Structure 1
Amino acid sequence: MLTLVRRATSSLRLRFLHNQCNLERIRSHRLHTSGLYGFDLLKTPKGFQRFVDEAIERSSELVTYISGMPSSAEIIRAMDEISDAVCSVVDSAELCRHTHPDREFVEEANKASMRINEYLHYLNTNHSLYHAVMKVEKDPNLLSKEAKRAAHYLRVDFEKGGIHLAADKLDRVNQLHVDIAHLCREFSENIITDPGSVDIFPASRIPKHLHHLFKPIYGLNSSTLRGSSGSRDNIKEKGFQITTEPGTLSSILQWASDAEVRKMAYIQGNSVPHANLAVLDKLIAARHEIAQIMGYKSYAEFAVRPNMASSPEVVMSFLFEMSKMIRPKADEEFKAIRDFKKARTGQICEDLEPWDEAYFTGMMKSSAYNLDSSVVASYFPLHQCIEGLKVLVESLFGATFRSIPLAPGESWHPDVLKMSLHHPEEGDLGYLYLDLCSRKDKYPGCAHFAIKGGRRLSETEYQLPVVALVCNFAGSRSSSSAKLNHWEVETLFHEFGHALHSLLSRTDYQHFSGTRVVLDLAETPSNLFEYYAWDYRVLRKFARHYSTGEVIPEKLVESMQGARKMFAATDLQRQIFYALIDQTLFGEQLSRQRDTTSVVADLKRQYTSWKHVEGTHWQTRFNHLLNYGAGYYSYLYAKCFAATIWKKLCQEDPLSLATGTALRTKFLEHGGAKDPADLLTDLVGDGILQSRDGGIVPDLTSLCDEMKLEECGQEHVVL
């Protein structure tokens, strides 16, 4: 985001005049939880204005203090407290914008977000702060390794913001950052406001179990009209208007037997919002200009440099290696799907289309393993899945989730739950909000939102992390009909991995709290916890039939696991394709004018087994281009890291306290306070990383073994 909020912050308590005032504010946040997210100022939408005012006032006090050049330790603490104050506004506004049903709250959160981002540009171009940080980094007497690391990354982030540039160039960089923030917001809002729709007649073309998802519509039946002289009421035909937002589109592509319905939904869903074509062009151009001003060949180089990979060349070589490794098996899977379609339709010459994939792979999985998705879902009522999260923390960490009553005004919707993660010896470790069910105008995906980062306030006091998990599952938590498909269970566990990273973090500085790590490490805990959603030893602890209470049968789980592996290469190839899109759009070659749709089409033809459908522009819905610009490859890094961690540490006894202790003490609690390579090797030993051209890539062996691939690229030096 910007220098001081580099994935957020933390801080030791400042020992100077204003400290007591700040500590009282923190205590007030804890004890008088009558505003949104427990912030007393957020009792009303207008409270966001004062929330920003106080953050700016407090930060300005700290800027003045730092300008007086106190000790190195106090400079770092003060810098971190600035970041904590600002991040509280940024993170709260972001969560509110995506989830609050009250438009006035959303509008005020938008205003707060823009104001605080403008202030952040001031902070990130403040030379007094920059000089103070440079002084600290050179101080040989700074005792804490974490403080030294904080000083280094603060200095790097200041320079990443362009503070070392000439005034005219810095002004241009600042304006570009403002423009990018507006473009990202416009891109996201377009996805919500223009989801696309198609009208389907007659209603019988849509599977009955999906009817509740769509708006009934009525139109004239032309064939009846030609042969009837009756009234118009007798010739109206019922149909459905399908809104092609991602979740609904996925349901149609999986369940609609009518190929024309699937085709119409696929094309429409992958052709909106059209306005984002221009927005994306502007975003690419703005980021490229920033990179050039900063002395980089491309935005990809600018973005990847601080990460483990260190350069786009290392990322691309990693992606090409994975693509080559997976292609033969992906092609075999494609041929199997095509042959299955021909056998089912009787059309020998018919080709396999992109809108066929979900439908026919679903049928193939059901046929091979006698799977019925409704039967699977019957073992995953939402309340039982929440119990599954409780099982994980109790078994692995000896902790419990305790339900906490929400104070008036603290919640943004009646469905929201609040829990504390409590350890019998350590007390509360952090707080978790759960907002899991879909509703109108809510963020359409699933995500982990930080609200407050952890940080050490004194030798005896710690600011506990506060996070929210936001998902879009159908139904209400209070309804017995709320059941999850297994892919939704996997998604819940994925996001829970992020939450645990935040809740178990115990860094001195908020700047390194939880998920505030280098980008190509951030998705590792979330990918690791996906494994828990597939392991029968875990599932039998909580997956019970919604009406009978029967534990999920082991044979059913084995069938689910078998079905999962049927098209694993196709799934992985898709993720490689997404990462290649991300790297290419923000890469050096985009310095020339290029049509993003043609770039995506070329990459799909070259690196997947599937064709591109002319007229579609899927990238206009790929919102990972915003926050993960040139960083989507990190999901594949995480997939490899997680495969190795699971195999070496968790697979033998995934729920043991010993496994959990290792995960917590060697990895999760350190957040970004330690070098990522050290974290990974401390956790599972040598062999998890490989050096390549000055960067680091994951070892592919565990993932190859898991997918039963034979070529694993062993020619690189193992660290």
Structure 2
Amino acid sequence: MIMLQSTRPRLRAWVCSSCQRRGLTAARRPHPVQATLHNSQRRSFIRNQKPTSFNTFVNFSGANVADKYHDDTILRQIFDSPSVWKEFAKTDETRNVGLFRNAYLTRPKGFQIFARVSLEKARKLVDKILKASSIQEYQDIVRDLDRLSDILCRVLDMADFVRVTHPDPKIQHAASEAWAVMYQYMNELNTTTGLNDQLGKAIDNPEVAKAWSEEEMTVAQMLKLDFMKSAVNLPQRMRDRFVTLSQEISEVGARFVQEMAPEQRSLVFPSSELHGLNPMIARNFTRRGVVYLPTLGAEAAMALRQVHNPEVRKKIYYAARTASKNSTDLLERLVKLRAELADLSGFESYGHMALRDRMMAKTPESVREFLQALHTNNAPIVRREAQELLEEKRRDTGDATAVLQAWDKDYYAERIHQKARSKTKHDDFLSAYFSLGTVMQGLSRIFNRLYGIRFVPRECLPGEAWHPDVRRLDIVSDTDGHVAVLYCDLFYREDKSPNPAHFTVRCSREIAPHEVEEAAELLGQSSEIPAFTTAEEAANDGMAMSQVDGKLKQMPTIALVCDFPQNAASRNGPALLTFFQMETLFHEMGHAIHSFLARTSLQNVAGTRCATDLAELPSTLMEYFATDATVLSLFARHYETDEPLPYEMVAERLRWSKRFEGSDTENQILLAMLDQELHSAQAAKPDVDSTQIYHELQRTHSTLPPDPPGTRWQGFFGHLFGYGSTYYSYLFDRVLAEHVWKEVFKAGDNGGGLDRANGEQLKENLLKWGGSRDPWQCLAGALKDDRVADGDEKAMRLVGSWGTKSNFKEE
């Protein structure tokens, strides 16, 4: 059952070409930054923005327009100047309001109390569902099950974020314990046949089903499928086997990722054979004139790009592309277990099982149609790139008959890149135009232009944030007022993960009147229940809520985590982002805008809880905005001189960085095809050979030289565990994002990237629905293209035929 539906999209988790080479898996003019913010300014801002009490209930009739430009200025300052943030964040409040203003979480023990109170609520709700007998009670079942999911996710999502992000080990430990308690209970629910039976009765009763909204029916069908995929309807013996298989898959998959290793861990060369390699790299691995080069990692990847000797490159390539026998054995064991699990659950293959739920593709056949069409579209581009590489090799060797080898690709691509880079400005020159505060200011301006929402800085109260660097932003709509809360943890810390991520700490969900009544009854009954001011606060644990059109809703609460270094040269200077870091922040904000706008009544379909192969569309789309000249002119200015960014610098950088994009796309297509094949019916065969499958795919579909015999790179493809027949999603969303950029935002022509009508078209047809409407209908509405409305194999083939081109439009 969908008791825990991850709200954190898989962000930039594909295998980029550089990782594969390493064998890893892995407008108003802005004001200049001011050094200080006068106390009178700060007090005026706070007085205008924060409620008169710490009640988290918000009832806006409209946004505070008078302070819009003041907010815009402050927004840049609090991210660019630590001293401004320190002054802004001062508060007279001394009471600990709890993490995210969750009143339970004022101390480590609060996590246990929060889990225990939530568990009691969940058990009462389960009892109610199991006893349902009247028409009205069955009509309530979908919302009851959704609330049950929300009760668990309130603890699980919060605890999951805290245990991997909070710097205090005691709080990490407490969060982990709370998570474990709720996760164990969730697993119990997933084997509770009565919940599945009651939901089935409700769906099968026409009088019940006709009373449900489109959103409720969507969630009902989603939950029913989840029960089916959990084998809850099977006899006990088969359910037991299902549980055993699931556990084995988890263990073998984890081993596959953790024990991943090359057959040969290092290579030994005389230093004279590594001519061309970066001297610093060579020196670090040289002992007495001999270089001991690790097979995997940045050093081997660099050697493939720089070493002049083709025989040396060949040896490095073979070693870096050959996983250990143990790695491939674990992979093949994993896919066999998945095949058995799918068969037990009544599916033709694991691919059919995985694609049935929350996926636009629906079937492996549709995925193959998409990938084949995309390959056909991309092949001419790769042929041109391959010819360019071959010509570079022939010029270099002076041999007009030379043939391109697999170990030549990176070397000659790097030579071509070097020639292009020598004509461009360095990335650190570009970064002067992308201070973090300027970029955040720009994102607020973009979203205000497109969707009528903006970022309003808000001071964090004691205990609300997990680190002093965390900035809180209230998301304010020009029509609905305060609609979401965003916590930004964007600066580097030693104890932080370096991976950028969007976390949904709490989803949007409508809070029913009877929930408020239940909360009122609990007030003052136990010392474990915090002293809430109102029953509404108690119903949402003290966290942010809103009331629009008479309906009380818990607000989306989002945490955005990045790892940007602060300015080392100045304690009060801004963090300057590279172009790639700026794109990364735009990407993550694409997920956030989805969460802000998709404020559904049911949390199972809120925000990014949509079809998995649609989740990356809004974020990938934002990368197009990050390269548009008109959009960049809205905010990109030099942090010292306030001069606007010369767009030709960006255009030149993009030209060389996208030089071999077709080859990278072909690589992704091959990996997605491999993912499909390894989760097809042939994975159930006792003699499944992943190496043979991968090499055959390369020989059939690769335009560039395929891997030579004897290699087995698939043993390094760790995403086969995490994605499991859905790896195509990254490519799918890349294609969709480019098409939306062209068709909805007119590829930025004539200011199309900032046109409110275009933003409304995307919001009203796609973004605001989250997962509550058929994604193909959403896409068809956004694109105004009924050819994709049915979402069948023909639609998948059409999407593939759109292909991917360059990520920017040259001015």
On whether the aligned pair clears a TM of 0.5, the verdict is: yes
Structure 2: distance between partners of 1:601 and 1:315: 20
Residue 72 of structure 2 corresponds to: none
Residue pair 1:29, 1:39 contacting (<8 A) in 2 also: no
Q: 2:765 aligns with which of 646, 666, 670?
A: 666
Q: Which amino acid aligns with 2:239?
A: L
Structure 2: distance between partners of 1:191 and 1:385: 38
Q: 1:317 to 1:663 in 2, by over 3 A?
A: closer
| Residues 1:446 and 2:500 aligned together | yes
Q: 2:424 aligns with which of 347, 360, 371?
A: 371
Q: Which amino acid aligns with 2:725?
A: A
Q: 1:269 to 1:396 in 2, by over 3 A?
A: farther
| Residues 1:82 and 2:154 aligned together | no
Residue pair 2:777, 2:789 contacting (<8 A) in 1 also: no
Of 327-336 and 472-481, the range deviating more from structure 2 = 472-481
Identical columns (%)? 30
Structure 2: distance between partners of 1:630 and 1:352: 32
| Residues 170-205 of structure 1: CA deviation (Å, up to 9, x unaligned) | 12212333444445555666689xxx9999998997
Q: 1:483 to 1:342 in 2, by over 3 A?
A: farther
Q: Within 5 Å, give how 1:700-719 maps onto structure 2.
A: 700=799, 703-704=802-803, 706=805
| Residues 484-541 of structure 1: CA deviation (Å, up to 9, x unaligned) | 4433333332222111111211211001001111222222212222211111111122
Structure 2: distance between partners of 1:302 and 1:336: 42
Residue pair 2:266, 2:292 contacting (<8 A) in 1 also: no
Of 108-117 and 660-669, the range deviating more from structure 2 = 108-117
Of 632-641 and 312-321, the range deviating more from structure 2 = 632-641
| Residues 147-171 of structure 1: CA deviation (Å, up to 9, x unaligned) | 1222222112211211111111112
Residue 301 of structure 1 corresponds to: 352
TM-score (norm: length of structure 1):
0.80
Of 262-271 and 627-636, the range deviating more from structure 2 = 262-271
Residue pair 2:275, 2:309 contacting (<8 A) in 1 also: no
Of 496-505 and 282-291, the range deviating more from structure 2 = 282-291
Q: 1:607 aligns with which of 701, 705, 713?
A: 701
Q: Which amino acid aligns with 1:66?
A: I
Residue pair 2:378, 2:804 contacting (<8 A) in 1 also: no
Q: 1:143 to 1:220 in 2, by over 3 A?
A: closer
Q: Within 5 Å, give how 1:391-470 maps onto structure 2.
A: 391-437=445-491, 442-458=496-512, 459-470=550-561
Residue pair 1:584, 1:590 contacting (<8 A) in 2 also: yes
Q: Which amino acid aligns with 1:329?
A: I
Q: 1:221 aligns with which of 255, 270, 288?
A: 288
Q: 2:688 aligns with which of 594, 618, 623?
A: 594
Q: 1:563 aligns with which of 639, 651, 656?
A: 656
| Residues 458-497 of structure 1: CA deviation (Å, up to 9, x unaligned) | 4432111122333445556978585444333333322221
Q: Secondary structure at the match of 2:753?
A: coil
Deviation of 1:392 (Å): 1.9
Work out which of the two has the higher radius of gyration on C-alpha atoms and give 1 or 2. 2
Deviation of 1:655 (Å): 0.9
Residue 712 of structure 1 corresponds to: none
Unpaired runs of 5+ residues, structure 2, are: 9-53, 60-92, 513-549
Q: Secondary structure at the match of 1:518?
A: coil
Residue pair 2:636, 2:645 contacting (<8 A) in 1 also: yes
| Residues 1:72 and 2:138 aligned together | yes
Residue 529 of structure 1 corresponds to: 622
Residue pair 1:365, 1:371 contacting (<8 A) in 2 also: no
Structure 1: distance between partners of 2:468 and 2:277: 32
Q: 1:131 to 1:220 in 2, by over 3 A?
A: closer
Structure 1: distance between partners of 2:712 and 2:58: 45
Structure 1: distance between partners of 2:97 and 2:454: 25
Q: Which amino acid aligns with 2:128?
A: Y
Residue 21 of structure 1 corresponds to: none
Greater relative contact order: 1 or 2 (C-alpha under 8 angstroms, separation 6 or more)?
A: 2
Q: Which amino acid aligns with 1:448?
A: H
Q: 1:144 aligns with which of 191, 200, 213?
A: 213
Structure 2: distance between partners of 1:496 and 1:520: 18
Residue 682 of structure 1 corresponds to: 781
Deviation of 1:650 (Å): 0.8
Residue pair 1:207, 1:255 contacting (<8 A) in 2 also: no
Q: Secondary structure at the match of 1:682?
A: helix
Q: Secondary structure at the match of 2:234?
A: coil
Q: Secondary structure at the match of 2:348?
A: coil
Q: 2:376 aligns with which of 311, 319, 324?
A: 324
Structure 2: distance between partners of 1:105 and 1:432: 21
Residue 516 of structure 2 corresponds to: none
Residue pair 2:96, 2:106 contacting (<8 A) in 1 also: no
Residue 155 of structure 1 corresponds to: 224
Q: How many residues align?
A: 668
Residue 717 of structure 1 corresponds to: none
Deviation of 1:589 (Å): 1.3
Residue pair 2:293, 2:299 contacting (<8 A) in 1 also: no
Residue 543 of structure 1 corresponds to: 636
| Residues 379-427 of structure 1: CA deviation (Å, up to 9, x unaligned) | 3344433333222212212221123334455444554433221224422
Structure 2: distance between partners of 1:330 and 1:531: 22
Unpaired runs of 5+ residues, structure 1, are: 10-24, 224-238, 709-719
Q: Secondary structure at the match of 1:654?
A: helix
Residue pair 1:447, 1:471 contacting (<8 A) in 2 also: yes
Structure 2: distance between partners of 1:383 and 1:524: 25
Q: Within 5 Å, give how 1:223-302 maps onto structure 2.
A: 252=302, 277=328, 279-302=330-353
Q: Secondary structure at the match of 1:566?
A: coil
Q: Which amino acid aligns with 2:218?
A: R
Q: 1:650 aligns with which of 731, 735, 745?
A: 745
Q: Which amino acid aligns with 1:162?
A: A
Q: Which amino acid aligns with 2:395?
A: A
Structure 2: distance between partners of 1:60 and 1:381: 50
RMSD between superposed Cα atoms in Å: 4.2
| Residues 251-272 of structure 1: CA deviation (Å, up to 9, x unaligned) | 9479867779988987777678
